[in-house]
Amino acid sequence: MKTKDLTTIAFMTAILVVLGLIPGIPLGIIPVPIVLQNMGVMLASLILKPKHATMSIFLLLLLAALGLPVLSGGRGGLPILLGPTAGYMFGWLLTPFLINFGLSFLKNNNSITLKLLVVWLAGVICSDLIGTIWLTIQSQVPFMTALFSNLAFLPGDTIKLILAFTMAKALKAQPFSENTSL
């Protein structure tokens, strides 16, 4: 792996860590807070190659598993990675591949609305679905209850997606931007 690749992965991991310093906002209806790290995951997925974005996310989760306070609100440790929010975080590992797979069908299409829809389906809905399945298993909450509880996250996740998409479009011309799918 080239030095540039390693630097890019480390830099994106640092951005994810910084976003994790911002405390999550608890909803009360579900043991999963609103966080900004998933916006960083979407940004990584949009500006890096899928492999590099996944490595950056994996590195974040590895640091958390080692107990470093790199997750939302300064949390870390194995209990967090096995708790109610774990499914969402492990869904992040698939996000770069899902987003880029979806966008690969739109290479010759310049419709921002269509691209946003694809990124929303791949980055938000798939990650939330994986999180919902884990929440159901881990917390023994009925699947439909967990699924409907996730509806509270969709407006905020959609706003974060639009922000990440806008940032990715602006950063596309920068030398560290590897992904040309936008």
Query: What are the b/e assignments for 139-172, b being 16+ CB within 10 Å?
Result: eebeeeebbebbeebeebbeebbeebbebbeeee
Binning pLDDT at 50, 70 and 90, where does residue 78 land?
very high
The rounded mean pLDDT for the chain is 91
Mean pLDDT of 65-79: 93
DSSP state of 85: T
Among the listed residues 97, 98, 35, the one whose alpha carbon sits nearest the alpha carbon of residue 70: 35
> Bigger pLDDT: 178 or 45?
45
Would you say 136 and 143 are in contact if contact means Cβ atoms under 8 Å apart?
Answer: yes
* Six token digits for residue 176: 């560290």
Would you say 115 and 103 are in contact if contact means Cβ atoms under 8 Å apart?
Answer: yes
Q: Is the pLDDT of residue 172 over 90?
A: no
Coil, strand or helix at 30: coil
Predicted local confidence at residue 73, as pLDDT: 84
Mean pLDDT of 147-160: 89
Burial (CB < 10 A; 0-12, 13-18, 19+), residue 34, is middle
* Six token digits for residue 98: 């899902």
Predicted local confidence at residue 96, as pLDDT: 96
Predicted local confidence at residue 176, as pLDDT: 66
Q: What is the pTM of this model?
A: 0.90
Fold of 3-171: Arp2/3 complex 21 kDa subunit ARPC3 (1.10.1760)
